[in-house]
Amino acid sequence: MATENKNLSHYDKATIPNAKNFRFGIVVSEWNDTITEALYKGAYDALIDNGVDPNNIVRWDVPGSFELVYGCKKMQEQMVNAIIAIGSVIQGETKHFDFVCEGVTQGIKDLNVLHETPIIFCVLTDDTMQQAIDRSGGKHGNKGTEAAIAAIKMAELRKNA
């Protein structure tokens, strides 16, 4: 496993663009909320740590990961510099996992291709709850933190492109 015994959420603040004047949207799935809340906390804390004013962080909740696509589409109307889509899908006994993962992945990709606001994919697609825990503040760090850093970098790219 590529992330075995690695915490990938460490970053060098000196390499992160100044995020003071950016506004971010975060769309959070309510499904598997212990995981998505931990991802949100990681993202929020990293944004604040990099100078984002708390008033410039807009959070919307949606029922599940599949609904992230619509939530992000509507969030684009809120004049944000970048959006973070936070969700958690855990393998079950049916093909539902495959359909949800494929749908949300393609939906977020489509929004990135068709619109100007970058959307960062922070949707965990794990086989077990333990894997999700490990990636939402556990031994592999917090993918929410990584998504926030990506959002800052993409907001800067959008500004300069």
CATH number for the domain harbouring residue 135: 3.40.50.960
Res 5: pLDDT = 54
In this structure, is residue 99 part of a structural domain?
A: yes
96 included as an active-site residue? yes
CB 143 within 8 A of CB 43: no
Number of domains making up the chain: 1
Question: What type of residue is 98?
Answer: D
On whether residue 50 sits in a domain, the answer given is yes
**Residue 101 placed within a domain:** yes
The pTM assigned to this predicted structure is 0.94
pLDDT of residue 4: 56
- Condensed to tens digits (0 to 9), the pLDDT of residues 28-87 reads 999 999 999 999 999 999 999 999 999 999 999 999 999 999 999 999 999 999 999 999
Q: Which of residues 92 and 20 earns the better pLDDT score? A: 20
Report how far residue 14's alpha carbon sits from residue 111's, in angstroms, rounded to the nearest whole number.
Answer: 30
| pLDDT value at 1 more than 50 | no
Sequence-ordered list of residues with C-beta below 8 angstroms from that of 137, at least 6 positions apart, any chain: 38, 41, 42
147 burial (CB, 10 Å; 0-12 / 13-18 / 19+) is buried
**% of residues, the chain, pLDDT over 90:** 84
Catalytic residue among 10, 96, 115, 140: 96
